[in-house]
Structure 1
């Protein structure tokens, strides 16, 4: 069996609860240890960030992370701050970051091939104060659904529980934000992503073809009569593209890219979803981007990469 490079001590932080126990189903601990890596698992006593920091203190030269976007962002922050390369293993439910890196979501263990002959890459990180995000920060109906008991077990039920007040115009994001088309007061949904989402073609809807543009993607849905069940598909239907690829829909949506975004308001806090984790944030909320902040080791075979012609559209 192949052994990981001996010049670098590798520690993989693994969340055994992510993806409904995906790490165990795919024998990720056994596979990683067979490649010479140490595997440290999260627990109620030790979270992912603490384990990653301790691994660096004890001499880890390469960090790995097996879990969902929330676990990945915690370890990515440590890797970026300490100059370590990161190996990402998609062991969560959605795995947006791993998907956009082209990793094989059907067989998470294939990402461990990066330990043998990984290709280096550098990508951006979104930042929210001192917290890193690899996918997005959301406000509004999607963020509120995260706060519902049993969200991860039954997401449709959670959305159904919070959507009626938005549909009736009784609930909104208690904030305002400046856009290239003016200030929006009390939007229905705000979605700020680490690099912009692709919205032009159905097959690749919501993908990020690049994670190194140095820009945040911003989607704002204005307060309206009805909250769409699928924001990205709704946007594709009504978004008007301009020559720079940004756009606005007068009856609902505004989309653009920027290196920084601020939400202002008089409310004491906003409920938010940060890489799928529920948080309560004080206003103002300031999001920014750290270009090229994270070094990665990626397997050479990445079956999830979109074809070149798709990335040009």
Structure 2
């Protein structure tokens, strides 16, 4: 098997050594010829497009969820297998896919060559892998990026950004509709996930399936920062279903309208301004991935 491996040096922690040589050796131990390229920032998309134009048996990406989301967007519908290396901070997608969170285990999953077709989702034609959010979260990410430019590290910057965003606490007047249901509301946050998320322990915040062809539409009606903090605490404790002002629906399509011409939207942690209305839809089985063997087969 011949693989193109692209590592985004800005997408997460890649260790303090020659990552290209290390990964090439790990793949070679499984009899795989891996051409490993380390890129930074905007060069990522160019590297993926070049790899798609070449005759590789698969493309592997190493980095955080933003990096994996970018590569998945470019590979959507190509039919070429996508492998993931958990080199980010939280590695949400790797966890949901069941990929081990250490390099050797992730390489072994790719070497086993078990393929799975999973869903993607899109908003106004822009594809995402994990989730998309309108409201407080995009504001937090924008504030975090501002603090990072001033020298703060990512996690402390996010903590400071969260405090500042909650202190301002803005709500949006939106019209949200999905499959025969609709409501006009003032909301601080609308979340759209690619497949349903768990809200109870021990798997709170995780997706049990990535191939059900549905969106997870979550709406909160909280009217104060204290109510939002209460909701976040219940989310951490895996008791989000007890929150009265929080609603979750499984849908295939959804639309968000606003009196504003543009809204700030997050997709897999990346922020962009998008023209309204925002039209979301699922893209069933649009991406082929190297995935762990199902538990029964593995046994």
Q: Normalization by structure 2: what TM-score?
A: 0.84
Instruction: Tell which deviates more after alignment, 202-211 or 226-235.
Output: 226-235
1:256 to 238, 249, 256: 249
Aligned to 1:128: 123
Aligned to 2:151: none
Q: Is the 1:126–1:288 contact (alpha carbons within 8 Å) kept by the matching residues of 2?
A: yes
Cα offset for 1:114? Answer: 3.2
1:70 aligns with 2:66: yes
1:275 to 268, 272, 276: 268
- Distance in 2 of aligned mates of 1:222 and 1:14: 40
Q: What are the ranges of 5 or more consecutive residues in structure 2 without an aligned counterpart?
A: 28-32, 149-153
Q: Is the 2:118–2:288 contact (alpha carbons within 8 Å) kept by the matching residues of 1?
A: yes
Query: Once the two structures are superposed, what CA deviation does each residue of 1:132-174 show, in whole Å capped at 9, x if it has no partner?
Result: 21111011111100001126342111100110122xxxx1134
Summarize the Cα distance change of 1:138–1:63 in structure 2 as closer, same or farther, 3 Å threshold: same
Query: Once the two structures are superposed, what CA deviation does each residue of 1:166-190 show, in whole Å capped at 9, x if it has no partner?
Result: 2xxxx11342212676403231111
Please give the secondary structure, in 1, of the residue aligned with 2:147. Answer: coil
Query: Once the two structures are superposed, what CA deviation does each residue of 1:23-74 show, in whole Å capped at 9, x if it has no partner?
Result: 2348642233122211122235513x22111012132231111011111111
Summarize the Cα distance change of 1:145–1:299 in structure 2 as closer, same or farther, 3 Å threshold: same
Aligned to 1:309: none
Aligned to 1:185: 185
1:161 to 154, 161, 164: 164
Aligned to 1:87: 83
1:50 aligns with 2:46: yes
Aligned to 1:239: 241
- Distance in 2 of aligned mates of 1:55 and 1:96: 25
**Which runs of at least 4 in structure 1 moved beyond 4 Å after TM superposition?**
25-28, 179-182, 230-233, 299-302
- Distance in 1 of aligned mates of 2:17 and 2:192: 32
Q: Name the structure with the higher strand share.
A: 2
Q: What are the ranges of 5 or more consecutive residues in structure 1 without an aligned counterpart?
A: 241-248, 306-313
Query: Once the two structures are superposed, what CA deviation does each residue of 1:95-133 show, in whole Å capped at 9, x if it has no partner?
Result: 11111011122x134211134222111110111223221
Instruction: Tell which deviates more after alignment, 145-154 or 279-288.
Output: 145-154
Matches within 5 A, 1:1-313: 5=1, 9-19=2-12, 22-25=13-16, 28-34=19-25, 35=27, 36-44=33-41, 46-47=43-44, 49-105=45-101, 107-148=102-143, 149-150=146-147, 152-154=154-156, 155-166=158-169, 171-178=170-177, 182-199=182-199, 201-226=200-225, 227-229=227-229, 231=231, 233-234=233-234, 237=239, 239=241, 251-300=244-293
